[in-house]
């Protein structure tokens, strides 16, 4: 069974230590996040994760996009919408994705760009690749303060414009080698989002996309899972370790034509699970959705965990998969 991550990893930036780095720092071109990205990728590959991310080490899921998309800014760490949202003229995450792939390939040459995740209706068990991640248009707009152009009580227009902008970024990520695109939409479980607009926005990104599309929604999805499964995505990814009620909700759904990303590691605690715990949860998932329809990952991003806990948890997930076979 394939494993992945939701995306973020502890960002351990480093001061320049080598002479080369010190010279770069003096010239103003030292990138403190490069080593954090490399560590995040190395840990994922060493833990045995099949579909890796670049670790999203450069900032939280909102600011990474809000500071680059025309019409948006970040002020006092708050994303704001000041004008009409337009597509970027340059990629946001493509160079990190390429660096992540290069880092992975140094450890395992099995990692390749644009790998086929699904063969027919099944996951390709030999898959080793990378995903491109964008924060969902609904989540990004609902987390931003609207100070211009869009009426505050009419957020739909901003969400649709943002979907168009993110579609362009998705194209860049795909060209950079992403085998899968993931949209992070945690706001869809909060009850604050308009589902019809959210679905339309994801549909804009999905249109003509020729790699599998996954949508990550953390939180309690019991009331919205039926709606989420109607979105134009191949994989719906939710947290099942930290929120057992989500598993009951899953039992009641029609899962035809959808794959499930089964969050099987609790990312809200540093405690590393016992292998049996993870294995039991995976077995319950298999009973509901079937082995061929599942990919495993931690519940959510691991940004807030210590590196030790994050790495141990990824290894634990892989160990549970080994016990399974």
- In the complex, the residues that contact Zn ion under the rule CB under 5 A are 218, 300
* Residue closest to Zn ion (Cβ): 218
* C-beta closer to Zn ion: residue 55 or 91: 55
Q: How far is the CB of 62 from Zn ion (least distance, A)?
A: 13
* C-beta closer to Zn ion: residue 178 or 238: 238
Angle at 319 between CA 318 and CA 325, to 5 degrees: 95
Q: How far is the CB of 267 from Zn ion (least distance, A)?
A: 8
Separation of alpha carbons 149 and 128, rounded Å = 43
* C-beta closer to Zn ion: residue 218 or 296: 218
| Tokens describing residue 143 | 């987390």
* C-beta closer to Zn ion: residue 218 or 278: 218
Strands 259-265 and 122-123: unpaired
* C-beta closer to Zn ion: residue 7 or 79: 7
Residue with tokens 């211009």: 148
Q: How far is the CB of 218 from Zn ion (least distance, A)?
A: 3
Separation of alpha carbons 217 and 233, rounded Å = 12
| Tokens describing residue 42 | 């190395």
Strands 235-239 and 259-265: parallel
Separation of alpha carbons 228 and 177, rounded Å = 27
Strand partners, 238: 262
* C-beta closer to Zn ion: residue 71 or 136: 136
Q: How many CA atoms lie within 13 A of 200 on its CB side?
A: 12
Interior/surface letters 80-93, b for 16+ CB within 10 angstroms, e for the rest:
bbbeebebeeebbb
């Amino acid at each position: 069974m394939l494993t992945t991550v939701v995306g973020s990893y502890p960002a351990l930036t480093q001061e320049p230590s080598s002479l080369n780095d010190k010279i770069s720092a003096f010239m103003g071109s030292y990138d403190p996040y490069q080593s954090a990205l490399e560590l995040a990728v190395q840990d994922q590959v060493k833990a045995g994760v099949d579909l890796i991310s670049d670790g999203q080490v450069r900032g939280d899921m909102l600011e990474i996009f809000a500071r680059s998309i025309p019409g948006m800014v970040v002020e006092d760490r708050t994303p704001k919408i000041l004008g009409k949202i337009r597509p970027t003229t340059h990629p946001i995450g493509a160079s990190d994705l390429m660096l992540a792939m290069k880092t992975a390939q140094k450890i395992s040459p099995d990692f390749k760009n644009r790998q086929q995740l699904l063969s027919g209706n099944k996951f390709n068990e030999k898959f080793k690749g990378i995903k491109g991640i964008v924060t969902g248009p609904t989540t990004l707009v609902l987390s931003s303060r609207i100070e211009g152009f869009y009426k505050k009580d009419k957020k739909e227009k901003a969400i649709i414009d943002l979907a168009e902008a993110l579609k362009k970024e998705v194209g860049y990520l795909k060209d950079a080698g992403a085998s899968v695109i993931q949209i992070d939409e945690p706001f869809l479980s909060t009850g604050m989002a308009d589902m019809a607009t959210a679905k339309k926005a994801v549909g804009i990104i999905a249109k003509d996309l020729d790699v599998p599309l996954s949508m990550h929604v953390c939180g309690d999805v019991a009331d919205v899972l039926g709606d989420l499964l109607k979105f134009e995505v191949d994989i719906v990814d939710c947290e099942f370790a930290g929120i057992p009620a989500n598993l009951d909700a899953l039992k009641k759904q029609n899962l035809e034509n959808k794959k499930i990303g089964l969050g099987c590691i609790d990312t809200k605690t540093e405690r590393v699970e016992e292998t049996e715990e993870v294995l039991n949860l995976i077995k319950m998932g298999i009973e509901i959705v079937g082995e061929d329809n599942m990919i495993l990952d931690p519940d959510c991003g691991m940004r807030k965990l210590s590196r030790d806990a994050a790495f141990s948890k990824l290894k634990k997930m892989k160990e549970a998969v080994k016990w399974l076979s």
